[in-house]
Amino acid sequence: MKVLLTGGAGFIGSHTCVELINAGHTPVIADNFDNSCPEVINRIEEITGVRPKLYEIDVCDGEKVREMFKAESFDAVIHFAGLKAVGESCALPLRYYRNNIDSTLTLLEVMAEFGVANFVFSSSATVYGVPKEVPLVEGMPTGCTNPYGWTKLMNEQILTDASSADDNLSVVLLRYFNPIGAHESGRIGEDPNGIPNNLMPYITQVAAGKLEQLGVFGDDYPTRDGTGVRDYIHVVDLAKAHVKAIDYAAERKGVEIFNIGTGTGYSVLDIVNTFMRVNNLTIPYAIKPRRAGDVAECYADATKAREILGWQAEKTLDDMCRDSWNWQSNNKNGYK
Ligand code: WQD
């Protein structure tokens, strides 16, 4: 299948591009490089021997999206493109709503014009808000605690309503948990702008000497060791879930939601200690106050993806820690 990857030069998009090529599909990337860089395309070619076609556009721009759909005959769309910093979304809510909602509406309108019927959406476990219980199951209540999360949940609703109104539209909503790691080659990986908000890129930059010390946000949560528990999933496992998702979307109509996690929760200190052991490094850290908006525990019940998508995570936490460091240590300044 020819698959449009919006935001395909990003962390998850680039890894999905590689796995689509490995599976014999033809990915096409649309990216404005707002949170990624053109070098990623070179790295994908280096890894796979295939250079994905690139449209350097903003997918909120209907005319540019139409021109692209006119030039290509897509079989499916995977919509990664979007602003994704929780904290920034609280400071700039209108920018987040405008960008993250407009892009989806534009894609749906143009897809309908060109009869493209399969849509896979990059959603997030953040739509569950503060979990009432764990592990999280797809039918559990949703409700967000920040504008970024609301844009994900609103997009889920938009896609659900669009699919109800159009029998031809097939939608798969993938709720990601915490993607970390990198392709085994160390040639593509997570390259956040500025100081990382997320745990693993912060750890790898401490290990690389770019940051002094890791702050552990709270050790007084009701968890095994008092630090926050999350469902960390290797980005390559997550990428492979998208390959399964486009095949699934092509086989049926309607909307289906899947948690894409490992089903296992690890604490912050589990990550730090595993990272140090696997890479034989010391990560200096200090306990800091809790971060506003954080929840104690968030991890997936991944049964539905296993039983219906035929997908489950295969890589271990050791793999995630080893591959994260392999990427960082070989790309001290990311793609720059
Ligand atoms: C993980 C754990 C922190 C940094 C966010 C988004 C989510 C998704 C993934 C986009 C928590 C602790 C972190 C640090 C720390 N993004 N931590 N020191 O918050 O679970 O999820 O990123 O889809 O939508 O909400 O990920 O990596 O920021 O935090 O102690 O410097 O690490 O408190 O327990 P989070 P995270």
The pLDDT of residue 114: 98
197 CA → ligand 1 middle, Å: 7
- Quick one: average pLDDT of 4-25? 98
- Ligand 1: atom nearest CA of 200 is 27
Tokens of 279: 């890479």
The pLDDT of residue 180: 98
The pLDDT of residue 51: 98
Give the pLDDT confidence of 58-84 residue by residue, as tens digits.
999 999 999 999 999 999 999 999 999
Q: How far apart are CA 17 and CA 305, in angstroms?
A: 20
- Quick one: average pLDDT of 212-217? 98
The pLDDT of residue 39: 98
The pLDDT of residue 121: 98
Query: CB–CB of 324/274 below 8 Å?
Result: no
Helix (H) or strand (E) holding 257: strand 254-260
- Ligand 1: atom nearest CA of 146 is 25
The pLDDT of residue 238: 99
- Give the 3-state secondary structure of residue 47: helix
The pLDDT of residue 153: 98
Give the pLDDT confidence of 89-109 residue by residue, as tens digits.
999 999 999 999 999 999 999
Question: Range with the lowest mean pLDDT among 13-17, 84-88, 251-255, 275-279?
Answer: 84-88
Nearest C-alpha to atom 18 of ligand 1 is from which residue? 216
Q: How far apart are CA 306 and CA 289, in angstroms?
A: 37
Helix ranges (H only) for the chain are: 11-22, 39-48, 62-71, 86-91, 93-114, 147-165, 199-207, 235-251, 268-279, 303-304, 317-330
- Quick one: average pLDDT of 22-37? 97
Mean pLDDT of the chain: 97
Tokens of 17: 């591009």
The pLDDT of residue 132: 93
Contacts of residue 35, defined as CB under 8 A and 6 or more positions apart, other chains included, come to 7, 10, 83, 84, 193
- Quick one: average pLDDT of 150-179? 98
Query: CB–CB of 4/28 below 8 Å?
Result: yes
Give the pLDDT confidence of 256-284 residue by residue, as tens digits.
999 999 999 999 999 999 999 999 999 99
Nearest C-alpha to atom 5 of ligand 1 is from which residue? 198
Is 148 noted as a catalytic residue in this protein? yes
User: Whole-prediction pTM value?
Assistant: 0.98
Q: How far apart are CA 26 and CA 123, in angstroms?
A: 23
Residue 30: pLDDT band (50, 70, 90) is very high
CB neighbours of residue 170 within 10 Å? 22
Q: Percent of the chain scored above 70 by pLDDT?
A: 100
185 CA → ligand 1 middle, Å: 25
- Quick one: average pLDDT of 197-217? 98
The pLDDT of residue 13: 98
Query: CB–CB of 31/10 below 8 Å?
Result: yes
Task: List ligand 1's pocket residues with C-beta within 6 A.
Answer: 84, 86, 124, 126, 176, 178, 197-199, 202, 215-217, 228, 230, 268, 291, 294
199 CA → ligand 1 middle, Å: 6
- Ligand 1: atom nearest CA of 124 is 23
